[in-house]
């Protein structure tokens, strides 16, 4: 199919823009199937989680949901940074790791990657982060070359000694939010960072032996094609080790109310579509891997293994864990989270046992976010079913759209399918929901949760 035709079909049939549900880094999320877990049931449930952890290597996610600022594009709704509250949270988090160890969850396992996500994890001090890492290392062996990543706000890395210390405590990858270098757009988003600041943080991190990623966004309020082009030129000069371009998701109530007064700042679908195409072309031309095109774990260790369905044991409030057959979330309210831990129980709030069919969908959804795609033979061995039969209708529609193909024993995304990987994944999630409930019941991934500061 000719390229323009494919792009036109994607724009018309698949592209969700940003106002509806468009989840960056999609995984299978089926909100209506979650069941509440009473604290007294947690012990038995953990035994089931352990039985489902058949792999030796796991991923450890640590949720540090605090931040000192409030960007209008933020979709993680962190708590306001506060020394006392963070100290209490840290104590609960350390106890949670010890509880997981004492229940045998880490027995015989190795951590392939550890990921500090937020919020802004670097709103905690280096010694706090070290304490968490020491507690994890005392509870689970680390795989050789374990990737230890932290998200960070560039502002928290202004002291180069801090960066060196982060390396010394074991962090070997940093992921910093930048989003754009356009000062006018940043100001509209209540965000401050400059080109000089980012350039220096990248250099200091690389000098310290830390691999560094910069997060960028398209579709920000008032952003123009010119402004995105300028961002790309600046990135070419800075040359971080990895770049991620995601779409601004309109879920934060602050930006929603801002748009109500200034609808002219909303980026229209056609421009956003062009922005996605331009940034994706640039990523490919500059050797940066992106969702849908990951070839190995060099640029995106944690994400790569997640997409290969390595289990995730998540520590901290609200954090989501996955094994191949179970998904569960921790309690979100900090007081509930801490109280349950204080009573010596694991603070699991809700869970799903994935049906075989849901497991098949998850394999497809994650597998196609890798360049090689979902391995057809492995799927047949695991499920005793042919994915081309199981997903016949999906495959036929998405290949007619020019997004999905069968290649070298796998189902993978085409070039343009990979550019719009989130939209293809949304289509697949819709198929699961339609199949299960006969209707679309998606909500924004934030589920409408509002900032704790409003």
Q: Does 301 bind ligand SF4 (CB under 6 A)?
A: no
Site string for ligand SF4, 177-216 (x = CB under 6 A): x---------------------------------------
- CB neighbourhood size of 238 (10 A): 18
Q: How many residues does the chain have?
A: 454
Nearer to ligand SF4, 135 or 156 (CB): 156
* Residue of 18, 22, 86, 120 interacting with ligand SF4 (CB under 6 A): 120
Task: Report whether 419 contacts 276 (CB < 8 A).
Answer: yes
Closest separation between CB of residue 197 and ligand SF4, Å? 14
Tell me if 277 sits within 8 A of 219, measured CB to CB.
no
Residue 246 interacts with ligand SF4 (CB under 6 A)? no
**Under rule CB under 6 A, which residues in 129-168 are in contact with ligand SF4?**
153
Q: Which stretch binds ligand SF4 (CB under 6 A): 4-12, 98-106, 117-125, 273-281?
A: 117-125
217 binds ligand SF4 (CB under 6 A): no
CB of 153 to ligand SF4, least distance (A): 5
**Which residue is it, tokens 């044991």?**
313
* Start-end of H helices in 323-408: 334-342, 356-367, 376-383, 387-390, 392-400
d(CA 418, CA 443): 23
Distance in angstroms (rounded) separating the CA atoms of residues 451 and 454 = 6
| Torsion over CA: 345, 350, 353, 359 (sign) | negative
- Beta sheet of 312-315, edge-to-edge order: 35-36, 348-353, 326-330, 320-322, 312-315, 57-63, 110-117, 141-152, 173-179, 211-218, 242-247
Binding window for ligand SF4 (CB under 6 A); candidates: 91-99, 113-121, 228-236, 260-268: 113-121
Using CB under 6 A, pick the residue from 17, 26, 117, 119 that binds ligand SF4.
119
Q: Where does this chain touch ligand SF4 (CB under 6 A) — which range of 63-71, 284-292, 326-334, 398-406?
A: 63-71
Q: Which is nearer to ligand SF4, 71 or 99 (CB)?
A: 71
For ligand SF4, which is the closer residue by CB, 105 or 251? 251
Count Cβ atoms below 10 Å from residue 414 Cβ, excluding itself. Answer: 19
- Least separation in angstroms between residue 239's CB and ligand SF4 is 23
- Is 250 among the residues that bind ligand SF4 (CB under 6 A)? no
Compute how many other C-beta atoms are within 10 angstroms of the C-beta atom of residue 135. Answer: 18
CB of 288 to ligand SF4, least distance (A): 21
Q: Which of 57, 70, 88, 430 binds ligand SF4 (CB under 6 A)?
A: 70
CA distances from 443 to 161, 358, 448 (A): 43, 19, 8
Q: Does 221 bind ligand SF4 (CB under 6 A)?
A: no
Residue count, binding to ligand SF4 (CB under 6 A): 12
69 binds ligand SF4 (CB under 6 A): yes
Asked whether 138 and 112 are in contact (CB, 8 A), the reply is no
Cβ neighbors of 132 (< 8 A, separation 6 or more) are 62, 90, 93, 94, 97, 116
* Cβ-based nearer residue to ligand SF4, 176 or 228: 176
Q: Which of 118, 121, 240, 373 binds ligand SF4 (CB under 6 A)?
A: 118
Say if residue 130 is exposed, middle or buried (CB neighbours under 10 Å; 0-12, 13-18, 19+): middle
Q: Is position 55 an interface residue for ligand SF4 (rule: CB under 6 A)?
A: no
Among 17, 26, 78, 221, binds ligand SF4 (CB under 6 A): 78
Q: Is 22 in the site for ligand SF4 (CB under 6 A)?
A: no
Distances (CA, A) of 111 to 48, 54, 134, 314: 20, 14, 13, 12
Which one of 28, 71, 266, 334 is in contact with ligand SF4 (CB under 6 A)? 71
Do residues 56 and 454 touch, judged by C-beta distance below 8 A? Answer: no
User: Near ligand SF4 by CB under 6 A, which window of 72-80, 168-176, 336-344, 353-361?
Assistant: 72-80
Q: What does the DSSP 8-state code read for residue 78?
A: P
Summarize as ranges the residues that interact with ligand SF4 (CB under 6 A).
67, 69-71, 74, 76, 78, 118-120, 153, 177
């Amino acid at each position: 199919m000719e390229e323009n035709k494919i792009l036109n079909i994607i724009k018309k049939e698949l592209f969700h823009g940003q106002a509806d549900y468009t989840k960056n880094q999609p995984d299978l999320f089926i909100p209506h199937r979650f069941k509440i877990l009473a604290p007294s049931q947690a012990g038995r449930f953990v035994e089931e989680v352990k039985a489902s952890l058949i792999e030796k290597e796991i991923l450890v996610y640590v949720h540090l949901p605090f931040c000192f600022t409030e960007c209008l594009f933020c979709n993680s709704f962190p708590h306001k940074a506060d020394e006392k509250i963070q100290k209490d949270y840290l104590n609960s988090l350390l106890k949670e790791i010890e509880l997981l160890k004492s229940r045998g969850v880490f027995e015989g396992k190795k951590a392939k990657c550890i990921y500090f996500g937020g919020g802004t994890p670097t709103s905690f001090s280096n010694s706090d982060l070290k304490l968490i890492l020491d507690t994890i290392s005392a509870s689970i062996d680390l795989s050789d070359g374990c990737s230890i990543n932290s998200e960070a706000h560039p502002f928290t890395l202004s002291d180069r000694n801090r960066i060196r210390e982060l390396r010394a405590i074991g962090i070997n990858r940093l992921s910093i939010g930048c989003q754009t270098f356009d000062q006018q757009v940043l100001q509209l988003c209540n965000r401050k960072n400059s080109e000089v600041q980012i350039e220096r943080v990248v250099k200091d991190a690389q000098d310290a032996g830390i691999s560094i990623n910069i997060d960028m966004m398209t579709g920000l309020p008032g952003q123009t094609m010119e402004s995105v082009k300028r961002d790309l030129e600046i990135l070419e000069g800075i040359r971080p080790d990895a770049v991620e371009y995601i779409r601004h998701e309109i879920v934060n109530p602050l930006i929603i109310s801002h748009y109500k007064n200034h609808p002219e700042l909303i980026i229209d679908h056609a421009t956003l579509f062009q922005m996605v195409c331009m940034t994706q072309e640039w990523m490919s031309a500059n050797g940066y891997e992106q969702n849908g095109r990951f070839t190995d774990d060099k640029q995106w260790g944690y994400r790569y293994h997640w997409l290969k369905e390595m289990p995730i044991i998540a520590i901290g409030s609200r954090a989501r864990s996955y094994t191949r057959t179970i998904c569960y979330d921790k309690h979100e309210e900090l007081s509930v989270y801490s109280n349950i831990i204080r009573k010596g129980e694991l603070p699991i709030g809700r869970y799903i046992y994935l049906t075989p069919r849901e497991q098949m969908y998850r394999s497809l959804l994650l597998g196609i976010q890798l360049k090689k795609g979902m391995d057809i033979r492995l799927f047949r061995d695991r499920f005793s079913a042919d994915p081309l039969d199981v997903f016949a209708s999906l495959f036929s529609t998405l290949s007619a759209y020019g997004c999905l193909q069968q290649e070298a024993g796998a189902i993978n995304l085409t070039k343009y399918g990979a550019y719009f990987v989130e939209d293809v994944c949304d289509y697949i999630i819709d198929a699961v929901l339609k199949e299960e409930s006969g209707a679309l019941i998606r909500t924004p991934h934030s589920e409408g949760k509002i900032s704790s500061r409003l």
